């Protein structure tokens, strides 16, 4: 199971969509502020877009497909599983992720860093 999750995470890293790639470029800059963000992280049998393990924070970048009712139900179930395991989940619309300043301000606030 662990091997399958790791393989899936690696594949998702290679196949990241544009908002996720842009978000990753921005989120990695938080390392110099002491916040290690990882991408496509296996947690609780799921693969999340980004995670800050030290803060138990999951960051999901949601494109327009997440507006569909079936996907909303799946997202709610994922969030419930992650929350039950002690993680906080922040869902950021892809349009916001495309604005790196907004994305970074949101994540800085969530991890307790000063917001510019």
Domain range list for the chain? 2-111
Q: Provide the percentage of residues in the chain whose pLDDT is more than 70.
A: 86
Residue 2's nearest CA partner among 36, 53, 47, 38 is: 47
Distances from the Cα of 6 to the Cαs of 23, 38, 61, 85, 97, in angstroms? 21, 13, 20, 19, 25
> Per-residue pLDDT tens for 6-62?
665 555 555 667 889 999 999 999 999 999 999 999 999 999 999 999 999 999 999
> Per-residue pLDDT tens for 30-41?
999 999 999 999
CATH number of 2-111: 3.40.960.10
91 CB-contact burial (10 Å; exposed 0-12 / middle 13-18 / buried 19+): middle
Residue 92's nearest CA partner among 79, 103, 108, 76 is: 103
Distances from the Cα of 12 to the Cαs of 6, 32, 109, 110, in angstroms? 10, 25, 27, 25
């Amino acid at each position: 199971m662990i091997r399958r999750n790791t393989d899936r995470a690696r594949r998702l890293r290679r196949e990241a969509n544009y908002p996720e790639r842009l978000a990753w470029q921005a989120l990695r800059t938080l390392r110099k502020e002491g916040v290690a963000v990882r991408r496509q992280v296996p947690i609780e049998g799921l693969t999340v877009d980004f995670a800050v393990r030290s803060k138990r924070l999951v960051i999901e970048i949601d494109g327009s497909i997440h507006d569909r009712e079936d996907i909303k139900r799946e997202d709610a179930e994922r969030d419930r599983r992650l929350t039950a395991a002690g993680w906080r989940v922040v869902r950021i619309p892809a349009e916001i992720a495309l604005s790196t300043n907004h994305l970074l301000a949101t994540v800085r606030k969530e991890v307790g860093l000063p917001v510019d």
